[in-house]
Structure 1
Amino acid sequence: MTIQRMDNVGIVVEDLPAAVAFFLELGLELEGEAPVGGPAVDRLVGLDGVRCDLAVVRTPDGHGRLELMKFHSPAATAGDPDAPVNALGIRRVMFAVEDIEDVLARLRAHGAEPMGELVRYEDDYRLCYVRGPGGIILALAEKLD
Structure 2
Amino acid sequence: MPAVAVLCAAGCSGSGPAPRVAVPQPPKDQVEVCRALHRELPAKVGGQERNDPSPASDLTAGWGAGDASIVLRCGIPRPKEMSDPRSEAVEADGVNWLVQQEPTSGQTFTTTYRAAYVQVSMGARFAQDGTPIAQFAAAVKKTDPSTV
TM over 0.5: no
TM-score, length-scaled by structure 1: 0.32
TM-score (norm 2): 0.31
Which has more strand, going by share of residues? 1
